[in-house]
């Protein structure tokens, strides 16, 4: 079964209308592989702006959301608000949410359930820290994180799983293509055993962690790497090269 290649750009807390407008112009004018699903994760204050300016062939994602539709939660946004901006995706469980803002596996699971019930697609992030990899517990960590997400998913067609080794995010270190493939393959085996063979074969598992125009082609050639979640490079023209990594 062929899985459609998926490239997400996580703009994080970067950009303004001028610089993002220029980036969007570059993307709209770029030659991108039509067989790739591309989704740009804009800061929440620019979701409306990004959606109105980006060509319809590109999706837009919020970078986070809360677990309920509305209420007294100052500073939060809900899936209902995201959808009201014409946006259909949300990134949840990113390592920065986990390790900078202290979000627990349980909260990420609750957010995932609510986002999916609200009709959003979810880019669900998992990944181990450097001490966990060096301690030999990568699988234990990523399987535990995946289980909490899986327990909250009814429809896997709306979920993209993003494996992001925390030690490779923004550090310039990239997991080797072999390291990425090894974890992706083990995740697929876990899904086969714990969810179903059909889900294991169909769900897209993408890699994130200092992906660049230089590293993307070899990573994309791995059997179980179905795309990327790109940080810094998604703010640069080379993002088009990463989108076209399979071309």
Let me know: does 206 contact 161? Beta carbons within 8 Å. Answer: yes
70 class by beta-carbon count within 10 Å (0-12 exposed, 13-18 middle, 19+ buried): exposed
Buried-exposed string 122-148: b where 16+ CB fall within 10 A, e elsewhere:
bbbbbbbbeebbeeeebbebbbebbbb
Active site residues: 94, 164
Give the separation between CA 69 and CA 67, rounded to whole angstroms: 7
Closest CA to 8 of 202, 242, 175: 242
Let me know: does 228 contact 5? Beta carbons within 8 Å. Answer: no
Centre a 10 Å sphere on the Cβ of residue 71 and count the other Cβ atoms it contains: 8
- In the chain, where do the E strands start and end? 5-10, 36-41, 58-62, 89-92, 121-126, 159-163, 204-208, 227-230
């Amino acid at each position: 079964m062929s899985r459609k290649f998926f490239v997400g750009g996580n703009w994080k807390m970067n950009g303004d209308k001028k610089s993002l407008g220029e980036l969007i112009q570059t993307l709209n004018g770029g030659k991108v592989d039509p067989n790739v699903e591309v989704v740009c994760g804009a800061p929440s204050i620019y979701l409306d702006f990004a959606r109105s300016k980006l060509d319809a062939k590109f999706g837009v994602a919020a970078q986070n959301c809360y677990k309920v539709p509305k209420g007294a939660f100052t500073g939060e946004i809900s899936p209902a608000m995201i959808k009201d901006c014409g946006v259909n995706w949300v990134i949840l469980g990113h390592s920065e949410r986990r390790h900078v803002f202290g979000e627990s596996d349980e909260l990420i699971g609750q957010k995932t359930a609510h986002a999916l019930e609200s009709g959003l697609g979810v880019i669900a992030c998992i990944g181990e820290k450097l001490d966990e990899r060096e301690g030999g517990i990568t699988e234990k960590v990523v399987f535990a994180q995946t289980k909490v997400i899986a327990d909250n998913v009814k429809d896997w067609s709306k979920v993209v799983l993003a494996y992001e080794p925390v030690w490779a995010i923004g550090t310039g270190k990239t997991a080797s293509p072999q390291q990425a493939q090894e974890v992706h393959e083990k995740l697929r085996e876990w899904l086969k055993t714990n969810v179903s063979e059909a889900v294991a074969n169909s769900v897209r598992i993408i890699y994130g962690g200092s992906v660049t125009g230089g590293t993307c082609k070899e990573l994309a050639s791995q059997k179980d790497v179905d795309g990327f979640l790109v940080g810094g490079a998604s703010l640069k023209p080379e993002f088009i090269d990463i989108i076209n990594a399979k071309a």
